[in-house]
Structure 1
Amino acid sequence: MKRLLCLLLGCAGLHAAAQQPYNPTHAEEVQRYKDAAKLDSLAKDKVFNTSVHPHWLAGGQQFWYVKEGANKSRSFRLVDVVKRTNVLLRDTAGLAPDTAQHPHLTEHADRWRWFETDSVSPDREHVAYIKDGNVYVRALHGEEQVQQFTRDGSDDVPYGALAWSPDGKYLVGYHIHPVRDSSIYYVLSSVPNTTRGVLKSQPYKQPGDPFTTYEMHLFTLADGKDRKVNTEIIDFFDAPVLHWRKGDPNIFLYEKVDRGHQRFRIIEVNAATAGTRTILDEQTKTFIYENRLYTAYLPNTNEIIWISEKDGWNHIYLVDGITGRVKQQVTKGHYVVKGIDSIDQKKREIWFAASGMSPGEDPYFGHAYRIGFDGQHLVALTPAAGNHRIQYSPDKKYYLDTYSQVNVAPVTELRRISDGKLLLQVERADTTAFAALHIPLPTPFVAKGRDGVTDIYGIMCVPSRFDSTQQYPIIENIYAGPQDAFVPKSYLPWSEMQSLAELGFIVVQVDGMGTANRSKAFHDVCWKNLADAGFPDRILWMKALARKYKFADSTRIGVYGTSAGGQNAAGAVLWHPEFYKAAVAACGCHDNRIDKQWWNEQWMGYPVDKHYGEQSNITNAAKLQGSLLLIVGEHDENVPPESTYRFADALIKANKAFDLLTVPGMGHSDGGPFGRQRKRDFFVQHLFKILPPDRNAGEL
């Protein structure tokens, strides 16, 4: 262990001359399997007090929580925020129920849901309804007076998604041309109490498939008129949420994302004329990340809070809701706003999460902040280095801040909202029992990416039984999906990566270019380019790791991943076989044309062009070198199993050798316990060149 600590602290080079490739015997590796299984069991539930769940009492000056310890022990603690005390509660009979479930108002836009509205007008005078595909309105009281607004609707092409104006004078609706999605099919081979496979299907929209369209109409109760709004048909997502302007009952706004994710607009509609104008229009040559689009409408001031990457980083803007003019860029700098927690319209303050603002820190660490609408008076609520999670008191005067790093145990602090001042350290995680196992914690590592400038971040797990004179193969746990970043940032005492490392591997995870939570340019690498998967950055990172830590063998590299990670793992031995020697790819989306529409068009664009096929693992199957294990569950409802089967078919036609594991009844997964077992055996066989344990002979 002393040698291991020396190596991890940077003195690895002292032993460079004596190092040899680590190649265990079969018997030695069988013992490693047994030891790893013991640690899998022993490492469970060995760290305590990693978080605090507060139950605030009336008055907002005290809260209690349950402190859990070894052997399932539990105690109750009472924290007084004024006295700054944390005491053991002996009488728990009077504890109040939790009042802190949702202590603050969140204004996240529920953007692309089906528009829901009450069929009764706000003035409670009329009821709107659809009959035989057409729009009708009748009086709610008195004689049943019925207005029929449309006559060209039908059951096949109906009107619908009706929404009243706040004053009940207008009704907004849509002439809808429905599209029924095609189905995907799979056979469940081993359903109990059957003698035949069971055919299943589900609707599944793939890239390029058509969407239901919505043609916006305005219905005026005063004159019974139906007017088509002078705007484009909505052919992407469903009917939008309408934002009626306070003080002008004729005006409403709605949002539109164009298919292909390269244009976002806020459009104003004048209900009196059915005319429109665009008040905000964002366009990009790559993509707008739709899932992180955020708008909050402030009706009292006719302003909009908007998040955009228009300056190259994800930031908050204050927009004039009438003119569309940006009144203020609220946040600015080389950091990323991760989301808005809440907005205080009276104080004109925004509470938000961000990463990358703290100099010298891992730019992925999440922190919480408060700032004024004018971009002034920024308050850092979570000053300590680490990845933070905060919980507010019901009155939002205090908050609990829990923070950690992969190799630094969690601390929970009580702080004051007004200035972020520390009032009390409530808990520090108890790692005594885990430390007694002498399992090394993950090691963060940073190296330059493909441009020689950008820092690439990752972590490394090393085996507990470690010989500093040996060089261990590297296995990368890969997931290059552009929707997020994936390297763990919070405390990670035990994981599958560490369990795999116990077999005699260095196991790493890296966030290369093309993943999220950095600059727009960093993210844009993925655009129409998912086959890139950040490989140039990952390869440089692992080579740099091997230069610093001489025990890491960059000539023996394995890689594994699930879902998009399965696509990436297989891509590694197609596109970079000079570096990656063995890959395990579970339920991979091996061709982006086969996978779900919403995810793939976000990154690969629309229409579906030749670049989809050019980057497909299936169409490039003949490039395979090295060793490949494909794993697929026959009941995968996320990525169609035929994605893997078509890849296998292409490999067979290219006369390539590979392994295929189909798990009966398994859904979208890495293959479950059996799949993970086969993955370990595969790497032992192909990186150590020895046979894995023979379970049939009782070796395990």
Structure 2
Amino acid sequence: MIRFRPPPITSLLLLAAVLPPASAQVAPDREAAYQRYLDFGSLIEGGRVNPNWMPDGNSFWYAKGGPQQTVIQRVDPATGVVEELFDTPRLRAALTEALGHEPAGLGVPFRQLAFTGPSSVQFMVEGQTFVLDLDTYVVERQRTPSSLGLVSYLVSEADRVTPRTFIREVFQGLGPRPFPERLSPDGQWFVGLDHHNLTLRATVDGRVVPITDDGTEFEQWDVETTLWNPWSPDSQRLVVARISSHGMPRIPTIKWLKPLEEAEFIPTMLAGGELYDTRLHILDLHTRTPMPVEQDTTADYYYRVLTWLPDGSEVVFARYSRVMDRVDIQAADALTGAVRTLATDVSETFVTHHHDSVWGSRTGFSLLPDASGFILVSERDGWRHLYLYDLDGNLVRQLTEGDFPVEAVVGVDQQGGWVYFTAQTDPERPYDLHLNRVTLDGTDRTQLTEGEGRHNVAMSPSHGYFLDTYSSVDTPPRSVLRRADGELVLTLSEADTGRLEEVGWTPPREVVVKAADGETDLWMTMYLPYDFDPSRRYPVVEYIYGGPQTTTRPMDFGGEPFPGLGSDFARIGNFNRALANLGFVVVIVDGRGTPGRSKAFHDVIVGNWGKPVINDHAAAIRQLIDRFDFLDGDRVAIMGASWGGYYSTRAILQEPDLYKVCISEVPGYDMHAFHLYEPYLGMPQENHEHYEAANVFRMAPGLKGQLLLTGGINDTGTQADLFQMSETLVRAGIQHDMMVYANTGHGAFGQTGEYNMELKKNYLVEHLLNTRVPGVDR
């Protein structure tokens, strides 16, 4: 058994393997570099600019500096002038007088603001709202508009205008979770839920108005507040849903760390099983009675709202078939609920998947500014391209074509006749993302950005300029301002990597190898130790995900913040690059069956979950070992989480002569346990052989190497898979290691996440470096 002294954490540790004897200790400088790299973003200063566009549609402001030294910069693209938006001493003096004391910090005491006029801005300090005149620097505190009774004084102004959270079941198999209320366009109401019923909360006094009272656990009312805006543009209507979950199985989960244990039953969707039923409604704020949308069928379909028309006459939504091989773009009349179909996209395989279209925002739909038509992304010709439709549902033309995938539309300038979109248009570097534009006639496509890497673009509302922040795995981030035709205006920020260089840094490498077919190029990112010495031989650690809905290989410099997710998420995201500093070479590759290339490249996963993916990954690792003398082919590990947990286990079972150590976190092993497999494997009733070929439990008795399984006791998505794999190994008499965390779901975060990273790090150090880990008793 291994006992970790720091950090203390309540957990369950089940270990059934004897660790090898230690021969040396991790060098303190390596451990220090590892720890510093977990906060990789703190080693990079500048390089990224997040623009906030001003009322003229061209100028913008952005915040820079830390909380104590915040500076707000204003940029005028027409003149190229960059200057501070505020006279900071005058601003702080005015606020000191208004507050009765000096505000916190030494710079601007806020990082968010809104223009209320050409020379007036509104912001919040210490929970109070102020308006500042930029000409006179007179500060005025905003008061409650009228006396509405005692409640308006008992509920603070900040609380009345700040979204609260409500609990919502989103049918992802992981249980209900909090969502923010959504503010109406006129600023008068927040919409939310309370115990499966719709509510409105008034911003003027904070009172809550119940709208429905018949919602239950099995027949709930629902409103989406993050993926789309449920409010009509005039704030008079809402699009909501009535969801039935009758017949769906419930998974029990227990919260063990409360004074009294608490049990929950979480609805889940088995492959081929009962699916929740969604019936869209339109809620008129005057009648406050939800009106059903005239859907011809709701069984075995997913529905997702796309947008309201600007005049509020119709709400546009998508209807996806259960196996995602068909999408219908439809519109519902806001007064009658009558539905018409605008477009249909069909494929012999999937046209999209849950992560993009049902759970995410990558729907591929863009309404033209004047609502005369829309643009739809489709892979009907073998690549992701743009198609223009009119609002009657007639296909006007294909806008883009060629051997490259379009990512997304970022702006439509109808007056100028241009569509701006991101796409992977560099044939020499097929994963680099660039801004392009094409005419609405489908001609004159031009790539507007330059420089290797991924370009994150923000288009001005006027479509006259765009801000481009870009980097590659070995080139730090840089932010530049360009005109709409791509002409450079000025460079706003270049990253300072001085702190990174003080710690030590070896640039990551991008390497191209062949897939198992010997023909298809696969791209890899390789992290090297900070003090890399090519004359040494390093063990290899592969990080794998393999899920068909995303790419995993790092393609930019990294270190970017994760707004709303906190530093814990960033530290976990930096684990792979940090791990290399202990004396490993860490590699990540996206094999066939993942997106970002052609439809044929992606479709390799169809009916082939498992073996072909590992064939590609193993072939890639073997080519690396043959190509680079500094890689030790006798010491190779693989690790991954979720579907990466499945594929890492599959790798050590399918390729035991290559992979000697495996760490599988929150692994999803059972194809029948979740509906997410249906777009790739079909319905199990009709495709039993696809599901059986993906079965990794039957391979478990062949385990030869070291395997560590980790998971959360409250992970209703994969907890059964975790225990079933362990039991399969126990019955086969195969020793393995296992860690299960209490009060933890599909992924370990916070203090548990820190402990889990330490556990993984120590496991690899012990088994690949044969090195003693400080603080670990064996």
TM-score by length of 2: 0.67
Tell me which residue corresponds to 2:80: 84
Tell me which residue corresponds to 1:459: 525
Tell me which residue corresponds to 1:368: 435
1:314 aligns with 2:377: no
Residues 613 and 619 in structure 1, CA contact (< 8 A), matched pair in contact too: no
Tell me which residue corresponds to 1:624: 703
Residues 34 and 581 in structure 2, CA contact (< 8 A), matched pair in contact too: no
**DSSP 3-state at the match of 1:470:** coil
CA deviation after TM superposition for structure 1 residue 622, in Å: 2.1
CA deviation after TM superposition for structure 1 residue 262, in Å: 1.9
Tell me which residue corresponds to 2:400: 331
Tell me which residue corresponds to 2:448: 381
Q: 5 Å matches for 1:601-616?
A: 601-608=678-685, 609-610=687-688, 611-616=690-695
User: Aligned pair in 2 of structure 1 residues 466, 666: CA closer, same or farther (>3 Å)?
Assistant: same
Q: 5 Å matches for 1:187-336?
A: 187-191=254-258, 194=259, 197-213=261-277, 234-238=299-303, 255-266=318-329, 280-290=343-353, 291=357, 292-296=362-366, 303-319=373-389, 322=392, 326-336=395-405
Deviations 1:447-474 (A, max 9, x none): 1222333221111111234443321111
Residues 411 and 459 in structure 2, CA contact (< 8 A), matched pair in contact too: no
**d(CA) in 2 for partners of 1:645, 1:470:** 40
Tell me which residue corresponds to 2:426: 358
**d(CA) in 2 for partners of 1:80, 1:160:** 47
User: Aligned pair in 2 of structure 1 residues 686, 156: CA closer, same or farther (>3 Å)?
Assistant: closer
CA deviation after TM superposition for structure 1 residue 229, in Å: 8.0
User: Aligned pair in 2 of structure 1 residues 68, 549: CA closer, same or farther (>3 Å)?
Assistant: farther
**d(CA) in 1 for partners of 2:398, 2:352:** 19
**DSSP 3-state at the match of 1:571:** helix
Tell me which residue corresponds to 1:119: none
Residues 482 and 515 in structure 1, CA contact (< 8 A), matched pair in contact too: yes
Residues 37 and 577 in structure 2, CA contact (< 8 A), matched pair in contact too: no
Tell me which residue corresponds to 1:692: 772
Greater shift in the superposed pair: 374-383 or 296-305:
296-305
**d(CA) in 2 for partners of 1:588, 1:448:** 27
CA deviation after TM superposition for structure 1 residue 528, in Å: 2.7
**d(CA) in 1 for partners of 2:698, 2:220:** 43
**DSSP 3-state at the match of 1:335:** coil
**DSSP 3-state at the match of 1:316:** strand
CA deviation after TM superposition for structure 1 residue 547, in Å: 2.8
Tell me which residue corresponds to 1:576: 655
Tell me which residue corresponds to 2:719: 641
User: Aligned pair in 2 of structure 1 residues 333, 231: CA closer, same or farther (>3 Å)?
Assistant: same
**d(CA) in 1 for partners of 2:462, 2:637:** 51
Q: 5 Å matches for 1:475-490?
A: 475-490=541-556
Match of 1:659 among 728, 737, 743: 737
**d(CA) in 1 for partners of 2:218, 2:477:** 57
**d(CA) in 1 for partners of 2:81, 2:340:** 58
Q: Which one-letter code corresponds to 1:237 in the other structure? A: Y
**d(CA) in 1 for partners of 2:710, 2:348:** 36
**DSSP 3-state at the match of 1:26:** coil
CA deviation after TM superposition for structure 1 residue 505, in Å: 1.1
User: Aligned pair in 2 of structure 1 residues 553, 297: CA closer, same or farther (>3 Å)?
Assistant: same
1:428 aligns with 2:506: no
Residues 50 and 428 in structure 1, CA contact (< 8 A), matched pair in contact too: yes
Tell me which residue corresponds to 1:549: 628
Tell me which residue corresponds to 2:411: 342
Deviations 1:42-78 (A, max 9, x none): 8662211121233555545654434438x97555544
**DSSP 3-state at the match of 2:724:** helix
Q: How many residues align?
A: 602
**d(CA) in 2 for partners of 1:174, 1:275:** 16
**d(CA) in 2 for partners of 1:40, 1:229:** 55
Q: 5 Å matches for 1:162-181?
A: 179-181=246-248
**d(CA) in 2 for partners of 1:369, 1:42:** 34
Residues 185 and 201 in structure 1, CA contact (< 8 A), matched pair in contact too: yes
Residues 58 and 464 in structure 2, CA contact (< 8 A), matched pair in contact too: no
CA deviation after TM superposition for structure 1 residue 312, in Å: 0.6
User: Aligned pair in 2 of structure 1 residues 509, 533: CA closer, same or farther (>3 Å)?
Assistant: farther
Q: 5 Å matches for 1:398-409?
A: 398-409=465-476
Tell me which residue corresponds to 2:156: none
Q: 5 Å matches for 1:86-101?
A: 86-87=82-83, 91-92=87-88, 93=90, 98-99=113-114
**DSSP 3-state at the match of 1:369:** strand
Residues 38 and 575 in structure 2, CA contact (< 8 A), matched pair in contact too: no
Residues 54 and 100 in structure 1, CA contact (< 8 A), matched pair in contact too: no
CA deviation after TM superposition for structure 1 residue 252, in Å: 10
Greater shift in the superposed pair: 676-685 or 583-592:
676-685
Match of 1:49 among 46, 51, 54: 46
**d(CA) in 1 for partners of 2:506, 2:219:** 63
**DSSP 3-state at the match of 2:728:** helix
Residues 260 and 607 in structure 1, CA contact (< 8 A), matched pair in contact too: no
**d(CA) in 2 for partners of 1:540, 1:285:** 29
CA deviation after TM superposition for structure 1 residue 604, in Å: 2.7
Identical-pair percentage: 28
**DSSP 3-state at the match of 1:622:** helix
Greater shift in the superposed pair: 40-49 or 88-97:
88-97
**d(CA) in 2 for partners of 1:507, 1:155:** 49
Residues 305 and 316 in structure 2, CA contact (< 8 A), matched pair in contact too: no
Q: Which one-letter code corresponds to 1:603 in the other structure? A: Y
CA deviation after TM superposition for structure 1 residue 630, in Å: 0.2
Alignment gaps of 5+ in structure 2: 1-19, 92-107, 117-169, 172-214, 223-229, 233-238, 282-291, 560-570
**d(CA) in 2 for partners of 1:631, 1:42:** 23
Residues 551 and 596 in structure 2, CA contact (< 8 A), matched pair in contact too: yes
**d(CA) in 2 for partners of 1:241, 1:88:** 38
**DSSP 3-state at the match of 1:565:** helix
User: Aligned pair in 2 of structure 1 residues 400, 200: CA closer, same or farther (>3 Å)?
Assistant: same
**d(CA) in 1 for partners of 2:274, 2:440:** 41
1:676 aligns with 2:757: yes
Tell me which residue corresponds to 1:18: none
Residues 505 and 531 in structure 2, CA contact (< 8 A), matched pair in contact too: no
**d(CA) in 2 for partners of 1:243, 1:80:** 33
**d(CA) in 2 for partners of 1:545, 1:186:** 43
Q: Which one-letter code corresponds to 1:400 in the other structure? A: L
**DSSP 3-state at the match of 1:427:** strand
Residues 159 and 173 in structure 1, CA contact (< 8 A), matched pair in contact too: no
**d(CA) in 2 for partners of 1:175, 1:201:** 20
1:492 aligns with 2:563: no
Tell me which residue corresponds to 2:158: none
**d(CA) in 2 for partners of 1:344, 1:636:** 46
CA deviation after TM superposition for structure 1 residue 686, in Å: 2.5
Residues 591 and 613 in structure 1, CA contact (< 8 A), matched pair in contact too: no
**d(CA) in 1 for partners of 2:40, 2:277:** 54
Tell me which residue corresponds to 2:127: none
Residues 631 and 660 in structure 1, CA contact (< 8 A), matched pair in contact too: yes
**DSSP 3-state at the match of 1:257:** strand
Residues 259 and 606 in structure 1, CA contact (< 8 A), matched pair in contact too: no
**d(CA) in 2 for partners of 1:63, 1:233:** 45
CA deviation after TM superposition for structure 1 residue 680, in Å: 1.9
TM-score by length of 1: 0.74
Alignment gaps of 5+ in structure 1: 1-22, 102-112, 115-153, 166-171, 218-226
Greater shift in the superposed pair: 644-653 or 284-293:
284-293
Q: 5 Å matches for 1:52-131?
A: 52-57=49-54, 59=56, 62-68=59-65, 75=71, 77-87=73-83, 91-92=87-88, 93=90, 98-99=113-114
1:392 aligns with 2:459: yes
**d(CA) in 1 for partners of 2:218, 2:329:** 27
**d(CA) in 2 for partners of 1:390, 1:49:** 17
CA deviation after TM superposition for structure 1 residue 564, in Å: 1.2
Q: Which one-letter code corresponds to 1:358 in the other structure? A: D
